[in-house]
Chains A and B, each alone.
Chain A
Amino acid sequence: MNITLPEDFNTLCSIYQINPENLIQSFVNEVSFPSFYSRPNDTDRWATYFFLHFLDVEETKYDVNEDMEDHYLRRFTDVLKHNFENHFDDVSKAENDGRDVMRQWHKAALAERARYITDNL
């Protein structure tokens, strides 16, 4: 990974003596739809907010299959809703079930990409 560290970021890391790698690691650790949507009251939501903001501003530049996105995000939301209504106390279950849907989405997206390549052979 090769990224440019701008001055303001560098200054802060230097003042607080934070290793930029550690900070970026802790940031990416918190980017998660399953955690974000299953724990609306937690305080570790900022990284995912940033991700959503990034999508809001930049999504048109990235190629995503919108029908697939709709399908899996609907399922994801339904699964969390179901958990919220039936297993209110078990937040980890909601998070894990949500993660399962994300994995399925991931798999479907990769399969579609592979198909796109093989179809052109």
Chain B
Amino acid sequence: MKRINHNLIIVPLEFKVSCMIYKVDPQEVLQVFIDHTTLFDSLCEEYSEGFSEVTRTIAQYVRSKPGGLKKSKALLNCKDIAITAIAGIFRLAKKKRSKVTIRRRQSNAYVNTIFKAMERPHTPSNFLYIDEDSYLKLNKDFCVLSELHSCYPKDYLEYFMSRISAAEEHARSAMKKPNTNFTFDFFMKVANGLGRDANEKLNLSEHDVDFYERMAELRLELYNIRNLEERTAILRDFYQSHYQSMNLN
């Protein structure tokens, strides 16, 4: 029987293509996603750029999981510690008088307590490999949240990536359909520099420039296609063929 490898993440083509269009590195986007995952923001109602979109994405995944939530085995032996710590984070989340950034930092102590006490069946390592040479660094918040929901880190990340489609977003916005995908909003924030060094100068090849020009034309040309799926499919084909041609060059 083939064992499922919970420590190797599958990056879907559509996500790679979306990253190519916005000139971001898939690994970097995933790392920014991990860095914006906190227990504090999962419990906090106030909006914080990046953190809110990420924790809402995770909450959505957990809710949509087939079979519902499993009881966390990781916390079986430290239930009381975990409950006290989560109550502490909850209090911080509700305390609206002090600054969010300060309260988020204060929540670290509670997360540390759970992290030390819990077992780690789903997050045995602090690293998650994307391929042989590159890996993502998991922080304590991310590990604790994974164990709380009995999920593997790759589950969250693969769900995140499955919600990113430049083709669909482009088709949707051209058809003036309301944007309901907050996960894609997060992706665009990262593309625009959130959580990463975006000051690097973009080097566009002639091939790139041709692509962006053709992309702008095609997005306008598709006005006569009135069906969202059909429009998305045409853009998807076009973007993917460019991605493939880039990787052949």
Contacts and interface: CB of A to CB of B under 8 A. Distances in A.
Contacts of A60: 176
Interface of B: 174, 176, 217, 219-221, 223-226
Contacts of A69: 226
Interface of A: 33, 37, 49, 52-53, 55-56, 59-60, 69-70, 73-74, 76-77
Contacts, number: 26
B224 A33 contact: yes
Given A49-B217, A59-B176, A76 B223 contact: no
B224 A76 contact: yes
Contact of B221 (A52, A73, A74, A76): A52
A60 B174 CA distance: 11
A70 B220 contact: no
B225 to A, nearest CB: 7
Say what secondary structure dominates the interface of chain B.
helix
Contact of B224 (A37, A53, A59): A37
Contacts of B174: 56
Contacts of B221: 49, 52
Nearest to A53: B220
B115 to A, nearest CB: 49
Contacts of B220: 49, 52-53, 56
Contacts of A49: 217, 220-221
